[in-house]
Amino acid sequence: MSDTWTVVLALTAATAAIRASGPVLIGGRDLPPIVIRVIALLAPALLAALVAVGTFTAADGDLELDARAAGLGAAAGVLLWSRNAMLAVVAAAALAAALTRALS
């Protein structure tokens, strides 16, 4: 087995152990409301961080502003304007990225 698959299997086991530890440690008790609010905010914050890293990082790890940044900006603008029209957000991001790539 290669080193890559060893790491994948180890991370799979660690993830399963971490996910199983929550219900085991908490049991049938309710979490405090502040903990529930923090947990609810973790997923959007993690998603935003992953989008930012994927958008503004070049292959060598440097900061890069290109068509991806224009698409993200257009998506954010349309999302703020339309509130719920996800198809419009995706279309605006694709159009802005395509126009930026075509013009540069």
Q: Band the pLDDT of 27: cuts 50, 70, 90.
A: confident
One domain for residues 33 and 9: no
Whether residue 12 has pLDDT greater than 90 = yes
Tell me the pLDDT tens digit for each residue of 42-90: 998 999 899 889 889 888 888 888 898 999 899 889 988 888 788 888 8
Whether 47 and 83 map to the same domain: the answer is yes
Q: 97 with 67: CB under 8 angstroms?
A: yes
- 93: exposed, middle or buried (C-beta count within 10 Å: 0-12, 13-18, 19+)? buried
- In terms of domains, do 15 and 33 share one? no
Same-domain status, 10 and 37: no
Size of the chain, expressed as the number of residues it contains: 104
Q: 72 with 87, same domain?
A: yes
What pairs with residue 63 in β-bridges?
A: 57
Answer for the pair 39, 57: CB distance below 8 angstroms, yes or no.
Answer: no
pLDDT the model gives residue 22: 82
- Same domain for 70 and 41: yes
Same domain, 47 and 94: yes
Same domain, 45 and 81: yes
Of 55, 58, 53, residue with least CA distance to 73: 55
Beta bridge partners of 95: none
pLDDT, residue 42, reads: 92
Clarify whether residues 49 and 90 are in a common domain: yes
- Asked whether the whole model's pTM tops 0.75, one would answer no
Indicate whether 6 pLDDT > 90. yes
**Two tokens, residue 47:** 């998603």
Question: What's the domain count of the chain?
Answer: 2
If asked whether residues 54 and 5 sit together in one domain, one would say no
Q: In the structure encoding, which two tokens stand for residue 63, read together?
A: 């900061």
The average pLDDT across 18-23 equals 86
- Has residue 1 got a pLDDT over 80? no
Q: Do residues 36 and 8 both lie within one domain? A: no
DSSP letters of 14-34? HHHHHHHHHHHHHTTPPPPHH
Domain holding 9, by residue range, is 1-28
Summary mean pLDDT of the chain = 89
